[in-house]
Amino acid sequence: MKDTTAALVLGKIPIGEKGQVLKLWTRKHGPQAYIIPSIRSNKKGIRPAILIPMTFLKATVEHRKNGQLEKINEVEVAKVWRCMTTHHLRQGICLFLAEVLQKVLQEGDSSPKFFDEFIEMLESWDDLNTNLSMAINEFLLLIWKHLGFGINPEQFFEGCVFDLREGVFTSIKPVHTDFLTNQSSSALFNWIQDKSFVVSKDLRSEITDGLILGLKWHYPMLGKIYSLEVLKEVLK
């Protein structure tokens, strides 16, 4: 059955000399893998330039019921980013986003609201004047929200800590060690309240590590994120 959907490129994997598997996050069907021609054999089809992670596509796809890889019939760019896929820092962010999304998005997990909110976030970053120092954490918080653990700033008060297992601010330090310190909890709260609030590099890194640790309680398959350490170094 053919269908048209908005989609974001997550990555591609070569299969032999004449084909490759294109991994997309589709708005209608969640994460999907589609077989497309390789660059060498692709005489009239998909241009390599639109296979960059986080390219926003409009794809006409064909879903099969026999367990075979899905097929793309037609694809075009739905939105041309001004700088998200061309600016070197944003390219690094896109690689990080793609790596994490491929690990946390589950087959059949079609959440149009999550997809739309993610697109809105990318649109806000698609400006060279936008400060991206907290971009990693903004993305991780969006995943937390998708999980149903949206952080409630009304729970915050001075001296509390943020419990990474429960996703709440608490006055009593948990018996486990998976929580943000008072300082990083306060910085996270202040940034949620005011996106112009400046968070130091050390606290940003602590918040990032904490949010990822919390995600691993729900996504044990998350594992090591290879693009993270380099990205944390270049985000100032």
Q: What is the structure's pLDDT at 71?
A: 76
CA 157 to chain centroid = 30
Q: What is the structure's pLDDT at 65?
A: 66
Distance (Å, whole) CA 192 – CA 151: 9
- When comparing pLDDT for 13 and 123, which is higher? 123
Q: What is the structure's pLDDT at 31?
A: 93
Q: Is the pLDDT of residue 38 over 90?
A: no
pLDDT single digits (tens) 192-213:
999 999 999 999 999 999 999 9
DSSP the chain: -EEEEEEEEEEEEEETTTEEEEEEEETTTEEEEEEEE-TTT-SSS--GGGGSTT-EEEEEEE--SSSPPEEEEEEEEEE--SSTTTSHHHHHHHHHHHHHHHHHPPTT---HHHHHHHHHHHHHH-STTS--TTHHHHHHHHHHHHHT----GGG--TT-EEETTTTEEESS--SSS-EE-HHHHHHHHHHHH-TT----HHHHHHHHHHHHHHHHTT-GGG---TTHHHHHHH--
For the chain, domains (ranges, CATH) are 2-79 (2.40.50.140), 88-234 (1.20.1440.120)
Q: What is the structure's pLDDT at 67?
A: 55
Q: What is the structure's pLDDT at 39?
A: 57
What percentage of the chain carries pLDDT values higher than 70?
Answer: 93
Q: What is the structure's pLDDT at 179?
A: 96
Instruction: List the one residue out of 204, 207, 213 whose CA is nearest residue 233.
Output: 204
pLDDT single digits (tens) 96-155:
999 999 999 987 778 999 999 999 999 999 999 999 999 999 999 999 999 888 888 899
Confidence category of residue 232, pLDDT binned at 50, 70, 90: confident
pLDDT single digits (tens) 153-174:
899 999 999 999 999 999 999 9
Q: What is the structure's pLDDT at 36?
A: 82
